[in-house]
Amino acid sequence: MGLSTFTYTGPEALEMIKNTFPKTWEKEIEEGDTFIKALMNMYHLSAEMAFEKYLRLNGSPAKGIATLAALHLLLETSKTSGEIKKIQKDQLEYGNQLAALENATHISYDDKKTLRSFYLTKQDELQKRINVLILKLPVRGTETITVQTGLFD
C-alpha cells in the first residue's frame, strides 16, 4: 500500500480521522507523526518517503489514513514555516535598509522621512502576512491556561 493507493487527499484523511475519532483524533495523528519523524531521522528520508516506508512496515489501512493525515499536517506546517522564514528574511532586509538610511549623511531630511515611512510600512505589511500564516498553522491539542495576576501581591 503506497501513497498512490489512497484515493483521497491529506485534508480528506484528516477530516475522516476527526469524524471517526472525534475525541482522540489528535492522539491517532500524533502516533503517525512520531513514526514519520522517527523514520525521517533514522533513514534520512523525506516526509513522503518516510510515509511510504511506514505503510510498507505497517500495512494497516486504518493506521495509514491516520498517518496520511499526520503527513498532511506535517507538510502544511513545514511549508508555512518556510514561507514565514522567507518573509522574516525580507523583513530583516528592510530593517537593514532602514538602519543604513539612518546612518546616511548624503540624503536630505525629507527624503529620509519618505524612505523611512516606506521601509516601516513594508515591514508592517510583512508582519501582517506572517500573522496570517501563523493563524493558518494547524493546531493540535488545546489547553486552557488561567492567568492570575497579582497572585502573590
d(CA 150, CA 78): 39
Residue 44: CB atoms within 10 A of its CB come to 9
Radius of gyration of the chain (CA): 23
Tell me the average pLDDT across 40-56. Answer: 90
| 141, pLDDT greater than 80 | no
| 77, pLDDT greater than 70 | yes
| 142, pLDDT greater than 60 | no
Looking at beta carbons, which pairs linking 138-146 to residues 24 or more positions away fall under 8 Å?
138/73, 138/76, 138/77, 140/26, 140/29, 140/30, 140/73, 141/26
Give residue 8's pLDDT: 81
Measured distance between the N- and C-terminal CA atoms of the chain, rounded to whole angstroms? 61
Domain ranges, ordered by start, for the chain? 3-136
- Using pLDDT thresholds of 50, 70 and 90, give the confidence band for residue 127: very high
Q: Which amino acid is at 152?
A: F
Q: Got the DSSP string for the chain? A: --GGG-SS-HHHHHHHHHHHSTTTHHHHHHHHHHHHHHHHHHHT--HHHHHHHHHHHH--HHHHHHHHHHHHHHHHHHHHHHHHHHHHHHHHHHHHHHHHHHH-SSS-HHHHHHHHHHHHHHHHHHHHHHHHHHHHS-----------TTTT-
| 89, pLDDT greater than 90 | yes
- Using pLDDT thresholds of 50, 70 and 90, give the confidence band for residue 149: low
